Structures are given as C-alpha cells and as structure tokens.
Structure 1
Amino acid sequence: MSVPTSALEEAFSDAPLLRQEILEHVSKNPQYLDLFHQISRYIIKIQQASIEDRDGPSIKRRKLENNTGSQIEVFSKSTLLAELGSQPALLRIPDISFSIPQRKKFALVLTATALGAFGPNESVEFGVHLNEIDYVACVPVPEKAARQWNFAVFAKNSHGITDTATDPLLFTVTDTPPKGETSGESTGIKQTIIDNLNRILPMNVMQPSPEVFRSLTVNSYRKNENSYHVKSHLGTKEGFLFFLEDAIIWGFKKPLFCFAFDSIESSSYSSITQRTFSLTIKTTAEFSSKEIEFSMIDQVEHPAIDDFLRRNQLKDASMAETKRAKIPSSLIKENTGAKSELQAAENEIAGIDQNDSDDEEDDDYEQHSDGSDVTSESDSDDSDAGLNISQRTSSRNLAEEELGSELEDVDVTDDEEP
C-alpha cells in the first residue's frame, strides 16, 4: 500500500527510526493512517510555536496597524495553537469573512477553551482564549440590501481605549432563514454562533434592541425594519455608532471602539450646527481619561441619543467649565472698566454725558428703590412727580427738549407777519 509520508517526515524529521516504525505499522494497519496524520500535524504546530517562543518574530508574525499608525505584532501563542489544534471542535463553520485582524475568509473554530480562525491545511491563523474575552456584540451590517451581521469579539486590552491595545476579532456572516421560517425564528449561522457562545462564555452576546435604542432615520434599504446605527466620523474615517444595553460601539474600520458603561466618565455635545453635531465620550482615569470625538452626526438622531445617555446616566458634561470658550487674558485686560460701544451710544441718545460718572456725591444724584438713577431739577419736582415721571423725563429726546425751549421764547411781531 502507498502511504503519504509528507506530514510524518516533517513531524519526525529528527527521529528517523521512530518514523520508520510508524510507517511500517501504518502499512500493516491502514485504519490508523488518519490518526497518525493528526498526530503529525499536531507535532508540527507545537514545533512551530516552540520556534517562535525561542527565536522571537518569525515569518508567521503579521504586522498590523493600530490606531496611531504604528505597527503591532500579532501572533498565536503556543498554548492557543495546541488548544485549537488538539481539542475537539464544538463548532466549525467554513468560509467566514474576517475583517480584523486579517481581511480574508477562514474557517471559524470554537473549542472548549479558544476561538480561532483556521486557514488552508488546518493552519491556525489567529485566535483568542475564551477566558480573555470580555465582550461580544452582534450587530446588523449597515447599509446593505442583504441581511448581514458583524460579530465583534473584544478581549482584554482590545477595546481601542487602552494604551496597550491589541486587535479584536471581527467577522461577518450572511444568514438566510430556512424555508418555512421567518427571520425572527431563524436558526441559521448567526443564531448558531450566538447559541454556542452564550453556552460557553460567562457573558451573553449583546444585540441591538428597539427598547434600548432605535435610530430615527428611515432604513432606506429595508423600510419596514428598524435601524440601530448612527452614521458618524472619527477624524476622516466614516463609521457607525451602536448604542447597546451596556456599551457603545463604533466600527467597523480600525480602530474599533467598545465603551462599556463602566469605562465612561462622561459624554458631551459640541460643534452643534443646524444639521449636525459631535458626540465626545470621555473615558475614566483607569482608561487614561481619553476624549474621543465622533463628528458629523445628523441632528435627526439627537433626541434618541440624548434619551439613551440620560436613561443610562452617562453624565452630560456639555456645560462643564472645561468645555466653555476661553476669553484671552489680553482682551480681559483691555476691556476692564471700559464702556462698550453699544452702551456709549445708548448714553448719547439719552443725553448723558459720557464723562459724567453719575457720582453718588453729586448734589442732584438720587437713587430710587428699584436701583435706577435720576438727575432731578429740584426737590419739589421729584416729590410731586414720583417714579413714573422720573422715568419719562430720563427717556425724553434731547433734541425735542432743546427745540421746544427755543420755540417758547419766540414772539411773532406785526412786521414779521406776511
């Protein structure tokens, strides 16, 4: 019988006698061929992982950009390789489209202790230990005619808000309900993944809900269905905000952000125009008190967002002192004690000399109980006129006073008559 020996030769290259014994045994007992090939592949993975741990970066390390544009190295740990390669798969789905950390189709594999992506020839491309996962979200892919869902798997330090950030896992599934079932009863790929993760993880996969948040923009692709995303920008990158039961997520371009409620110090609005506004989320001191601004949000969405933030007591810091516009000290110094142009014009119209300080020591100074200052002609006039007459006198037009006084002194003689 002809026996394939490539995997056996590679796995036992440093033990030729043992390799020969295995080949002889397989020749006599072909039913064990598959078993020995699995053992050989497992040994190869262990050897590769051991080389990486000993010699540092290898050709299998993938350099991926983080949110600052620098390079971070992502590689599989030897224990992760061993667990994914040796443990029985609780779930295996081929041809899943991954976006992060690699944009490629892989087989999604879930074991009792790890979740990972398998490439051709059963190679483990990347993965994460289940005990490192602290948040998983499944949200609709926005602006797609066909129903698709994004699964975002966040491990520790992969939320985008830590200084030592690593990449989360992001993959997309297209789910079509079986014949005879409605979309709400679907037990397709999406629900299969959710059920398996809920069963094995200490937390549930979070999904949008109209009771938690619903976009006020009409779903242009499926008008009878709710939308759960809000379009926004992070710098020049366009993305989408999702407001979930216990977190706010922004995606789906790197960096992904996951703001769990306990990581949010406050929220605030800024750059408010007739059409758009910005939402800034500030993290707690534990997460370096970062302020991340999401801009160009449609004003139509403001009531829904504001209601969500208030219901979840995510502090609104829009009117905080640090958010107010600062007046330069030079302007404060220049304008100290100076009258404004508007005040000067009002004084001139009222007939008040700008050089007259209305000093309280002047003989004609009088202050009423309502705080207004009136210059009276005589004590007897003040006592008879009262507050109303004083107010009318102070607002009399200066030009009319002067013109009226001149007309009263003019006598018309017979010579001047026509």
Structure 2
Amino acid sequence: MSTPNSNSTSTLEEAFPDAPLLCKEILDHVSKNPQSLDLFNRISRYVINIKQASIDDRDGPATKRRKLDSSTGSQIEVVSKSTLVAELSSHPASLRVPDISFSIPQRKKFTLVLTAAALGAFGPNDTFEFGVHLSEVDYVACVPVPEKTARQWNFAIFVKNSHGISDTATDPLLFTVTDTPPKGSAPGEGIDMKQTIIAALNRSLPITVVEPSPEVFRSLAANSYRKNEVSYHVKSHLGTKEGFLFFLENAIIWGFKKPLFCFLFDSIESSSYSSITQRTFSLTIKTTAEFGDREIEFSMIDQAEHPAIDDFLRRNQLKDASMAEARRAKIPSSLVKENTGQKSELQAAENEIAGIDQHDSDDEDDDDYEENSEGSDHSNTSDSDDSDAELNTNQRASSRNLAEEELGSELEDVDITDDEELESN
C-alpha cells in the first residue's frame, strides 16, 4: 500500500483547511487507490483557485481599488475571476499550451488554456492568473512581431471596453508565439503553433481571428529584417513612445506596449494628416463619442508609407478631415511646399482659377514657347484677340472643373470677371 506524498498532503490541507476529517478520508482513499491521486490534486487546486478568485473579487488588488475609488462617474468593468475559473473548470480544455509569453496584462510566461467558454492564463501549480470570457471578445488579431529576424506572432485579444481608446480599466490580452515547437512535443513533429491557436480560437469564438493581408494593406517600406517577406506594419510614435500601426480588416491597431489601441471602424469618427514635412507626417484618428470622443495622434510616419495609408483610409471610407477649417492653420504653407517640392495642390488649383499659374507664362525658357516664322513673337492682333479670349475662357472653365474635383466641398467660390481677359496690344 503506497503512502501519499507530502505535496498532495499540503495541497489538500490548503484546499480544505477547516475539514481535517475530509482530508484524512481522501488520503485513506488515495492510499487504497493510488490512481485517484491526480484527480484529487486537480480538485484541490480548483478549490484553491476558486477561493483566491473570490477574495480578489471581494477586495481586489490595491491598484484596482484605487482606480475604482477615483472613478469620476464612468463605470469600470471588473472581470470576475471566480466566474472565469468556474467556466474554465466546467468545460474540457480544447487547447493547453505551456510557456506562452504574455505581455499584457502581465509580462510573464503562463500556460494558455482555452475552452469553449473562456481563455485563461495559469501559473505554477495550475494557479489561475487572468482570462476572458469568449462571449465578450469582439476582436482578435494575429500579426507578425515587427523588426525580428526570427518569425514571431502577436495575438491581441480585445473584449468590450478593452480597446484602450476610452477611459476603462480593462486590459486586452497580448501574447507571443514563435516557430519553435512547444515543450513536450516530439522532435520533428512540426507543430505550427500559430495556426494551431488560430484554429482553436476560431472554433470557440463568435468571431474569426483577423490576420494581415496584402490585399488589405501592405507596407511600402522594405523589410530589412526578413527581406523576402512583406511587411504589414508602419512605424510611428505616440508622444515619445515608439510603436507600430497595423491596418487590418475592420480595424487599425497600434502597439505593442501599453496602451494597446484597437480602433474598430465603427469607433472612428474621422482621420486626418498634419505636421507634414518632406520626410514624415502625422496621422490623427478621432474617435466617436461612444469611444471617448478623443483625438489620438501618431507622429513621425515615413512619407513613403503615405500612399498605402491614404488608399486604405479612402477604400474604407474613414473620413478625411485634413481640410477641416479647424485644421488648416496647423499645416504651415512652408511645410506643405517643403513636402511636395513645389507649391501645394491647393495653391496650384487656386492659381489656375485666378489665371496666374506661372507655368503658363510666355517665358522663352518654357517648353511651349514658340516664335513665329520670322523670328518675332508678335502676332496679328486682330486675329488673336478673339482666339485669346476664347482660349482663356475655356482655360478658366477647365481649371475650375479640375479644382472642384480635387478640393470638393473645401473649394471656395472665386468670381472671375471679364476684366481678367488679356488686353490686346
């Protein structure tokens, strides 16, 4: 007859400190049935997790209590750990992966456990740390980790009120996987951990995991870390913090340090450009009132990325507010000229309407300049007056149409009178 080891005894005592007789009965049973030891250990750990989760739900960590106490009217959602533990324990695990590197809400390695109802992170001895109810998840993205020689992928899981763009205390989940097979797998087993996790999540989630696609967005900058692969990220700054923008299906994500932002298309009121220089520009995203009515600026974006970003915003009808009246003064004309290498499109259109476009001057250096056959630039005034007037009328109409197409509603009406016609010699 075998004797239960000290580890199982301490686990039982921790799980049932007020029931010594029950502990003794369990130990007696295990002595007669050694195969039941693992079952009772798992039951004991479950009871321990439930008790700890109940304490956290009641009291909460000190930092979370301070956030709740200092709340100025906004409701902060606190996920019940005891409910999560119950959901994770009442359903069989469809996926269990040890040593997964989490970054948010804690920077540490945990065991990832996925069931049909919840996803959780567990520490040593199956101690529950944190998790999410799958029914509350509204966006999941799997994107390449930027600027890494070895392939790695970040999984970002967002639930309601965890998008980072509104005033809530709920964190998303962020963890990283690599091409390296997990511990415990047989050599040469060739497990694709990224696809394994995606497949498991897609089976359990009410939504589908989103991955970047070149049809949706691709960076125009060269991938200096993996030269033969497409890049899907754009480097930018949030204040002094460096991060990366990902333009995905139905959302824009910025990461990968706190705060981790997820701009669902429904949360974007408008987008705009500012701080335009020859090499960089800024992108500002304004959120709807439901998502805090905030303006978040991502600066120092490489000008080479502008065509791809602009195409993405236009295709997805994310309103461009760059020409809004409140923003015009924020873009000095000198910077616009510096960026384009010549006068801005707005100024060029205005000049065309006013009939003062310098490219149309009668300078001898112009490619369009021609002398008459006798070497003189004088022409018959009686024949040219009518044709010049008709030509200028057509030019003004063409210029107005061009400017209206380029500027839309931002074009101010410019009255052009007959006094602007060329006078005859």
TM-score by length of 1: 0.71
- Alpha-carbon distance change, 187 to 104 in structure 1, aligned in 2, over 3 angstroms: same
> 3-state SS of the aligned residue for 1:144?
coil
- Alpha-carbon distance change, 221 to 156 in structure 1, aligned in 2, over 3 angstroms: same
The question of 1:262 aligning with 2:266 is answered yes
Q: Which residue of 1 aligns with 2:222?
A: 218
Alignment of 1:226-375 (within 5 A): 226-325=230-329, 370-371=418-419
Between Structure 1 and Structure 2, the one with more helix by share is 2
Q: Number of paired residues?
A: 318
The separation in 2 between residues aligned to 1:161 and 1:324, in whole angstroms, is 25
Higher RCO by CA contacts (8 Å cutoff, separation 6 or greater)? 2
User: 1:258 deviation in Å?
Assistant: 0.5
Q: Which residue of 2 aligns with 1:50?
A: 54
- Asked if the contact 1:113–1:130 (Cα under 8 Å) also holds between the matched residues in 2, the reply is yes
- Asked if the contact 1:75–1:126 (Cα under 8 Å) also holds between the matched residues in 2, the reply is no
- Alpha-carbon distance change, 261 to 28 in structure 1, aligned in 2, over 3 angstroms: same
Deviations 1:105-155 (A, max 9, x none): 111110111111111111111111111111000000111110111100111
- Alpha-carbon distance change, 30 to 177 in structure 1, aligned in 2, over 3 angstroms: closer
Alignment of 1:80-91 (within 5 A): 80-91=84-95
Q: Which residue of 1 aligns with 2:4?
A: 3
Alignment of 1:64-83 (within 5 A): 77-83=81-87
Q: Which residue of 2 aligns with 1:161?
A: 165
- Asked if the contact 2:141–2:156 (Cα under 8 Å) also holds between the matched residues in 1, the reply is yes
The separation in 1 between residues aligned to 2:181 and 2:16, in whole angstroms, is 47
User: 1:13 deviation in Å?
Assistant: 1.6
> 3-state SS of the aligned residue for 1:24?
helix
TM-score by length of 2: 0.70
Alignment of 1:366-385 (within 5 A): 370-371=418-419
- Asked if the contact 1:114–1:127 (Cα under 8 Å) also holds between the matched residues in 2, the reply is yes
Alignment of 1:143-154 (within 5 A): 143-154=147-158
- Asked if the contact 1:107–1:119 (Cα under 8 Å) also holds between the matched residues in 2, the reply is yes
The separation in 2 between residues aligned to 1:37 and 1:86, in whole angstroms, is 16
User: 1:49 deviation in Å?
Assistant: 2.2
Deviations 1:75-100 (A, max 9, x none): 76111122224532110111111111
- Alpha-carbon distance change, 6 to 60 in structure 1, aligned in 2, over 3 angstroms: farther
Q: Which residue of 2 aligns with 1:27?
A: 31
Q: Which residue of 1 aligns with 2:98?
A: 94
Counterpart residue identity of residue 154, structure 2: N
Q: Which residue of 2 aligns with 1:401?
A: none
Deviations 1:246-296 (A, max 9, x none): 110001111011111111111000000000000001111211221100000
| Matched-pair identity in % | 78
Counterpart residue identity of residue 296, structure 2: I
User: 1:159 deviation in Å?
Assistant: 0.5
Q: Which residue of 2 aligns with 1:113?
A: 117
Counterpart residue identity of residue 114, structure 2: L
- Please say which structure displays the higher CA radius of gyration: 1
Counterpart residue identity of residue 93, structure 1: V
- Alpha-carbon distance change, 118 to 303 in structure 1, aligned in 2, over 3 angstroms: same
> 3-state SS of the aligned residue for 2:30?
helix
The separation in 1 between residues aligned to 2:14 and 2:111, in whole angstroms, is 24
Deviations 1:12-58 (A, max 9, x none): 2212222222222222222222211211111122222233334x135
Q: Which residue of 2 aligns with 1:68?
A: none
- Asked if the contact 1:61–1:73 (Cα under 8 Å) also holds between the matched residues in 2, the reply is no
- Asked if the contact 2:45–2:127 (Cα under 8 Å) also holds between the matched residues in 1, the reply is no
> 3-state SS of the aligned residue for 1:105?
strand
User: 1:170 deviation in Å?
Assistant: 0.6
Counterpart residue identity of residue 60, structure 2: P
The separation in 2 between residues aligned to 1:34 and 1:314, in whole angstroms, is 55
Structure 2: state its 5+ residue gaps: 68-75, 183-189, 331-416
- Asked if the contact 1:62–1:74 (Cα under 8 Å) also holds between the matched residues in 2, the reply is no
Give the alignment's Cα RMSD to 1 decimal: 2.5
